[in-house]
Amino acid sequence: MKNADMKNRTFVLGIISSTLFFVSLAIILCVVFGIKTYWKYNALLINFCLMLIFASFVLGTLGLTKAKKGWIGKILCIIPVTSFCLLAAFLLWIFIGVMFPHKLPAKKDLRRTSEILETDLSGGKYLKRIETHCGLLYDGDYYAQIKFSELDKILESIKNNPHWKNSALPQSLLFLLYEDEPEDFLCLITDERMKFPRTDRYFYFFINRSDECEDPENRNPDYLLDWEYSLNFTVALLDLNTNILYIYELDT
């Protein structure tokens, strides 16, 4: 008789917790896919859904704790409990992404940087990497120094790419990299660890990654002098005297 009561209790708790979960799921779908009539109630509906999901988790956990036998009741309890755990893990992942920089493993980062700079960096090794990008919008900056034991391979790649230049640095990059601006107009690199050397033998690369710009305008760094919108660019300088590539990225 006692076992039958346990089965019934687990089944009832499973029914209630699963019902609460599916009701909350239905409300979330309505909010996401936008029933316009109820848009002004979205915040209230989301809070109500969270309460329902938490209640379904508590009841489901209670049902599993009290369960002896009765597989149907257990399955009904497992659904909301598992869903709550997945939701909690997803929210934790978002929190970590918001609070901590998105630093990639060195090999993956080297491949990513190679694609942005349109050259083969596989022969280089990181001397320094500083990553501050974080948040859902991926705001922040990035700085790296990559050392090459020899330059033959990367120079071959650079010389075949017209976007790499060895002409005099434009005024905007002088202001950006070396703080030559008297009024600190382009004081964007504020971290003292992110330094670029003054050198007489170099190649440089610049790309404006903002959606508003396309080729060839996105290769002109002088847009920095009067740009009023968000900044999304990458600049690199290969010092031929030291075989070190310096890279800086900014996303605002």
On the question of pLDDT at 2 being above 50, the answer is no
Residues 183-229 pLDDT 10s: 555 667 778 888 999 999 999 999 888 765 566 567 777 777 776 66
> Is the separation of the CB atoms in 60 and 52 below 8 Å?
no
Q: Which residues pair with 78 in a beta bridge?
A: none
Is residue 83 within a helix (H) or strand (E), and if so which, with residue range?
A: helix 71-99
Residue among 132, 143, 152 nearest 236 (CA): 143
Distance CA 188, CA 230 (A): 12
Give me the percent of the chain exceeding a pLDDT of 70.
77
Is residue 9 within a helix (H) or strand (E), and if so which, with residue range?
A: helix 2-32
Q: Using DSSP, state whether 202 is helix, strand or coil.
A: strand
Distance CA 36, CA 12 (A): 36
Overall pTM surpassing 0.75 (yes/no): no
What angle in degrees, to the nearest 10, is found between the helix axes of 2-32 and 42-66?
A: 160
How many CA atoms lie within 13 Å of 173's alpha carbon, on the beta-carbon side?
A: 25
How is residue 158 written in tokens?
């650079």
Residue among 58, 76, 61, 104 nearest 11 (CA): 76
Mean pLDDT of 33-58: 74
